[in-house]
Amino acid sequence: MESFLSRYRNLIVLLALLVMQVIGLAVQVRKPAAAAAGVPSPGRDQEDGKSVRLIRLWAAALVTPFERAVHGSGQGLDGLWAKYVDLRHTKDENKDLQKTIDRLRLEQASLIEDARQGQRLQELLKFQQNYIYKTLAAQVIGTSGSSQSHVIYLDKGSEDGLARDMAVITSDGIVGKVRAVFPHSAQVLMINDQTSGAGVVLETTRTRGILRGDAAGHTQVINILADQRIQPGEHVLTAGGDQVFPRGLPVGVVESVARDTERSGFIDIRVKPAAELQRLDEVLVITSMQAHLSAQQQADIKDSEELMGAEAAAEAERKKAAAEMEERLPGLKDPSAPDAAKTPGAVNPDGTPVVPVPATPKPLPARHVDRFSPGAKGEDLPASGGDDTTASPDASSPAIRPKTPPVPSRANPAAPGMPTKPQTHPAKPKTPPAKPQGTGVQ
């Protein structure tokens, strides 16, 4: 027996190690299968058992401190250069940023009121919508190191408030969800992993599907019936039904549409992720989708509401005062005068239709009528005024009358020697003088 053990010692150790690991695999596979008796939902995988979690915890505790150190030293070198050496244009940038901050604060004050109003209205309509209220910024410090496993590690953990199934996003789009949380680090399953799943909707066609990754690390939407309307370039958003991602977050853009080789009538949509999944540095973890406003935010909102209430009251006062003033002051308009413009079909006594008089002021009568006066007419200047412009020639008028005989005008060459109307006075009124403005024509 002893000789058998010593002779096959290597093989026995190998088999023992393999059997131990196979049994471990069987236990891990059996537990999720038993736990999955309920309805599985996309994007929600089973939690690890205690022993498996312990191994993950050890592995993370072994690796992440070094990753954090490497990441921190790299950032430290970058920071040393950026913060202490490369400071050109910093003052100008600071000024610009301060202006931007001031502008954004003003915009935020108005937007927050709009958002709250919209949420109140949606609550009234019983909308089941989640809102992002609180996020936590985290640094990506490492990966799983396996091409089959698209997992990243964050430098924040349960002690920072992270929990399983929290959504991880960037300003560009979604990244993944927190899969395992350790005291000082967290494991995030990215959307391009084969085991991930997120409910998505195509923006234009409103087609819903499940987003998952493939072997090459690309993201695709599966289980979609063939639809001619789905074209590359269409935006993909989160559907909000997976209890992980809030609705409406950008996911990516449809890159290509291909027929499903395994199932006829279905298509696979490859999606280009909006977030740069291969080069993530900082991410945001959505830690709360309930309204937990800070004391400062609540105070700001209260001030804003009071301000808006005061403005509304002042506006009401102004309107009331204007109405009272309107009642007390006499109107500028003659209430007895009919408005010709508002009486279509009005006619003059001679049967011609009433033409609305343009609201131009009547020129004052000239004190000394000459050929430049309105209504002046060649030789009979004194008699050619308006009906209310009675000519009163005096001694001065011949002095300004042209002494030379009238020169035949080019405009009237066929009548030489005939008295002509001075060309310098073309604006002879052909219509009777207008009555005072606002009175209309009767």
Q: Map residue 205 onto helix, strand or coil.
A: coil
Strands 151-154 and 186-190: antiparallel
Residue owning tokens 């990754």: 213
The CA distance from 137 to 272, in Å, is 24
Residue 284: how many CA atoms within 13 Å on its side-chain side?
15
Burial classification of residue 67, based on how many CB atoms lie within 10 Å of its CB (0-12 exposed, 13-18 middle, 19 or more buried): middle
Per-residue DSSP letter, 407? P
36 contributes a contact to other proteins by CB under 8 A: no
User: Binding residue for other proteins (CB under 8 A) from 8, 66, 81, 127?
Assistant: 66
Contacts with other proteins in 67-96 (CB under 8 A)? 67, 70-71
Total residues interacting with other proteins, rule: CB under 8 A: 51
* Segment interacting with other proteins (CB under 8 A) among 20-28, 251-259, 341-349, 393-401: 20-28
Residue owning tokens 């009568």: 365
* Segment interacting with other proteins (CB under 8 A) among 6-14, 249-257, 300-308, 379-387: 6-14
Q: Show the site string, 246-285: x = touches other proteins by CB under 8 A, - = not.
A: --------------------------------xxx-----
Using alpha carbons, select from 421, 179, 406, 166 the residue that is nearest to residue 285. Answer: 166
How open is the CA angle 221-223-227, to the nearest 5 degrees? Answer: 85
Using alpha carbons, select from 209, 301, 202 the residue that is nearest to residue 254. Answer: 202
* Segment interacting with other proteins (CB under 8 A) among 57-65, 80-88, 263-271, 308-316: 57-65
Q: Map residue 288 onto helix, strand or coil.
A: strand
Q: What end-to-end distance do the CA atoms of the chain give, in Å?
A: 135
- Name the minimum Å distance from CB 192 to other proteins: 10
What's the gap between Cα 150 and its chain centre? Answer: 32
User: Binding residue for other proteins (CB under 8 A) from 25, 225, 307, 400?
Assistant: 25
- Whole-angstrom CA distances from 17 to 20, 54, 126, 310 are 5, 19, 57, 77
Contact residues for 89 (Cβ-Cβ < 8 A; gap 6+): none
- Name the minimum Å distance from CB 298 to other proteins: 39
- Name the minimum Å distance from CB 103 to other proteins: 35
Contacts with other proteins in 143-202 (CB under 8 A)? 143-149, 151, 153, 179-180, 187, 189, 193-195
| CB closer to other proteins, 70 vs 121 | 70
Q: Show the site string, 135-154: x = touches other proteins by CB under 8 A, - = not.
A: -----xxxxxxxxxx-x-x-
| CB closer to other proteins, 214 vs 300 | 214
- Name the minimum Å distance from CB 114 to other proteins: 39
- Name the minimum Å distance from CB 180 to other proteins: 8
Residue 262 contacts residue 237 (beta carbons within 8 Å): no
What residue ranges bind other proteins (CB under 8 A)?
9-10, 13-14, 17-18, 21-22, 24-25, 28-29, 45, 52, 55-56, 58-60, 62-63, 66-67, 70-71, 140-149, 151, 153, 179-180, 187, 189, 193-195, 214-217, 278-280
